[in-house]
Structure 1
Amino acid sequence: MTPAGPEDGGRELRNSADPSFDRWLELLANRDRRLVLSTLIENGDDRLPVGVLTDVIARKRPEDVTPQSVLIELHHVHLPKLHRADAIEYDPDESLVTYRGHDGLERCLRAVRDAAAD
């Protein structure tokens, strides 16, 4: 963290060179991963079936996207990427996903959602 100058209202600034910050931004660059994380965070500590995440994403995507194509992307791309980043626990055999809980990731997710809403 870098101390803020008077022009920044006295707030601390996040060092954008922080490797975990860069990792979170990379994960959050994809809308489907943001939806997965938001859904898991809202769900709390419970494990969610991949089918629930598929339905959430399919409802938010254009009409020409099928739940099957969303499921394939989740299974082969997004869930493994989130798992490798230690953001989730993913059991492909049971088709269950659990959010691990990361304050930094949640702060970044809120900032990205706020920026997208503007």
Structure 2
Amino acid sequence: MVALDTVFELLRDERRRYALYYLYDRDGPVSVRELVEAIEEWEDDPASRHDSLETFEEIMVELKHVHLPRSSEAEFIQYDPDQGLIQIQGSPQEFDALVTVARLIEKPDQ
């Protein structure tokens, strides 16, 4: 059983939630680049377009230095910074339930 505080901490940040939603739908490892592209697409607001490269790099840095290391503290999230791969594997039911509910509430576009 995973601590509820751990699950809520994982879901606390919007970008980390988007990353978890994306990873949750994938079987096997995902490249950090692919994950950044998905998050960038979900965050895309045509009314306030920034330089796409600048936004991509901002998300990449934030994921690599904050969200992915923090997420990998949970035993069911594996992050290999050397290979640039991350995956969710063997997630507990508590996590599955809360990610599903959070995603339904938030409904990020895919």
The two structures share one fold, judged by TM-score above 0.5 = yes
Partner of 1:30: 13
Work out the CA distance in 2 between the residues paired with 1:76 and 1:58: 17
Shift of residue 41, structure 1, vs aligned partner = 1.6
- What TM-score does the superposition give when structure 1 sets the normalisation length? 0.74
Partner of 1:109: 99
User: What do you get for the CA RMSD once the two structures are aligned?
Assistant: 1.9
- What TM-score does the superposition give when structure 2 sets the normalisation length? 0.79
Work out the CA distance in 1 between the residues paired with 2:2 and 2:22: 25
Q: 1:43 to 1:104 in 2, by over 3 A?
A: same
Partner of 1:68: 57
Q: Structure 1 stretches (4+) deviating beyond 2 angstroms? A: 62-65, 113-117
Cα deviation code 1:18-70 (max 9, x no counterpart): 971121011101111111111112112x1111000000011122433610110
Query: What is the DSSP-based 3-state SS (H/G/I as helix, E as strand, rest coil) of the residue aligned with 1:84?
Result: coil
The residue type paired with residue 112 of structure 1 is: A
Partner of 2:22: 39
Q: 1:105 to 1:19 in 2, by over 3 A?
A: closer
Work out the CA distance in 2 between the residues paired with 1:71 and 1:87: 22
For structure 2, which runs of at least 5 residues remain unmatched after alignment?
A: none
Work out the CA distance in 2 between the residues paired with 1:23 and 1:80: 14
Does residue 1:57 correspond to 2:39, yes or no? yes
For structure 1, which runs of at least 5 residues remain unmatched after alignment?
A: 1-17
RCO comparison, higher one (Cα < 8 Å, 6+): 2
Shift of residue 101, structure 1, vs aligned partner = 2.9
Q: Which structure has the larger Rg? A: 1
| Number of aligned positions between the proteins | 99
Partner of 1:80: 69
